[in-house]
Structure 1
């Protein structure tokens, strides 16, 4: 498809970023209000170890309302209210990534908002996307007041300061993050050998309970690498942009998707991510 015939976004990336940041701050205000009164929360169980409260729902409703108002030409896919990709690009929204932490008063959770553009979309200054690609990411940690942002071609930022992925080159010198199976246990036989590889061949493995923050912390070099399986696309979409724009790798663990839309992600500095793939791939059951 030529650039002259390629569809363009109905808003600029700068306008979309401003809307996403505003939405993330507004949603975080709702979360923190409930965080001070957790005893009043009504909690529902969607499935085993899959919880939702009115904090999730109200925060998501706030985000969706604002994004529909500010970016009416974009589709919306949200964790609680659903939706499907539409148009040239769609928002992927996780109003509360780390719900279990939130409900147990563990101050490690975030709002995650991403924009994913379809293959063939024309981005400034003239790039035509060859595959579906996350092009904007916002992850906001209200407890530390850390705002991670990135847009395609614009780098990754933390509270206005440029961030870059780790420069670690050897797996044995790396600190990795992961997430244990907690909802879908069908891939345990694949995951556990990977965990063993990571445990025995790195400086250590951390598990803090928020995929969005794991990716954001990988983008700013706190982690040298991160992998997880069985996630949802809204868990990882924003973090993928952050890591890629910070100079790192964030890709589908199975090598099947242009981005980890299926929820199996591996990320980190380029050498560490490659070393992880080299050790993990033999354990995948294709």
Structure 2
């Protein structure tokens, strides 16, 4: 006798608008914690995780507030956070950096940000018509509390700065480009690959900047302040939000080895399409397999 197997309910698409709203609220809440410590940095308890890898109670408290907000407003997603860890799971996972630019923050350099992203797994529905072919950052929020600049993006919906649509630069070549980068600062194992890249960039571009906050480097690339950006030795939470913001602003953001669908391994090249490709062509010969 045949048994009846009822059809399984189809998973609903991820509500990107609700997710971005939750991330914006969480970013503001986390930034409020950071700024409450901004004028009392001498009183911060600072721990050293590794050489040049610092964490303070500002990082930890901001992360706790962000997680609380996300769990309240967007339950059901896994969480991977810089200080408390976690594992990707289910249809989508939040990636949280509560304070990108910790060294800047601790030295009273007003260039740091909160970075929050939602990364959806391959097969996840982001609309009634579209399932993702590969793992993809689908929501990105980067908030700079010093300039009060809020960068946001959602997959297929564009990128925005304080509610104004943004786009990558139109600079046609690397010769006319201002590039951003990050120097090796805690993991020096790739310095031999990186230094020739920096040498080439200095000699070929209009200028190279190193500001010390990867999330803002990506956000500034998305809005055209930088034409291209490359860095090595980052973490997934450093780059997840910036990846979707750059892409939705019309740019490219690639894993430096062109193996992963987004730069989860922390080595990336980003920029407007022309400069991004030229930058990739410049750094690729120096990469070890």
Instruction: Please tell me the TM-score bracket, short chain as reference.
Output: over 0.9
Instruction: Using the TM superposition, give the Cα deviation of residue 8 of structure 1 relative to its aligned residue in structure 2, in angstroms.
Output: 4.0
The CA deviation string for residues 247-272 of structure 1, in whole angstroms up to 9 with x for no partner, is: 00001011111000000010001000
Residues 85-164 of structure 1: pairs in structure 2 closer than 5 A: 85-164=88-167
Q: Partner of 1:62 in structure 2?
A: 65
Give the Cα separation in 1 of the matches to 2:10 and 2:211. 41
The answer on whether the counterparts of 1:6 and 1:121 sit within 8 Å (CA) in structure 2 is no
Q: Partner of 1:220 in structure 2?
A: 223
Q: Partner of 2:49 in structure 1?
A: 46
Give the alignment partner of residue 22 of structure 1, picking from 25, 38, 41.
25
Q: Which ranges of structure 1 fall in alignment gaps of 5 or more residues?
A: none
Give the Cα separation in 2 of the matches to 1:48 and 1:40. 21
TM-score (norm 1): 0.97
Give the alignment partner of residue 214 of structure 2, picking from 211, 216, 220.
211
Instruction: Using the TM superposition, give the Cα deviation of residue 125 of structure 1 relative to its aligned residue in structure 2, in angstroms.
Output: 4.4
Q: Which ranges of structure 2 fall in alignment gaps of 5 or more residues?
A: 1-7
SS in 2 for 1:45: strand
Structure whose alpha-carbon radius of gyration is higher: 2
Give the Cα separation in 2 of the matches to 1:51 and 1:5. 46
SS in 2 for 1:87: coil
Whether 2:263 is the aligned partner of 1:260: answer yes
The CA deviation string for residues 98-135 of structure 1, in whole angstroms up to 9 with x for no partner, is: 00000000000000000000001111141111110000
User: Aligned Cα RMSD in Å?
Assistant: 1.2
Whether 2:277 is the aligned partner of 1:269: answer no
SS in 2 for 1:90: strand
The CA deviation string for residues 154-198 of structure 1, in whole angstroms up to 9 with x for no partner, is: 100000000000111111000000000001011011101110110
SS in 1 for 2:230: strand
TM-score (norm 2): 0.96
Give the alignment partner of residue 171 of structure 1, picking from 161, 169, 174.
174
The CA deviation string for residues 197-254 of structure 1, in whole angstroms up to 9 with x for no partner, is: 1000000000000000000000000000000001000000000010000000001011
The CA deviation string for residues 31-78 of structure 1, in whole angstroms up to 9 with x for no partner, is: 001011111100000000000000000000000011111111100000
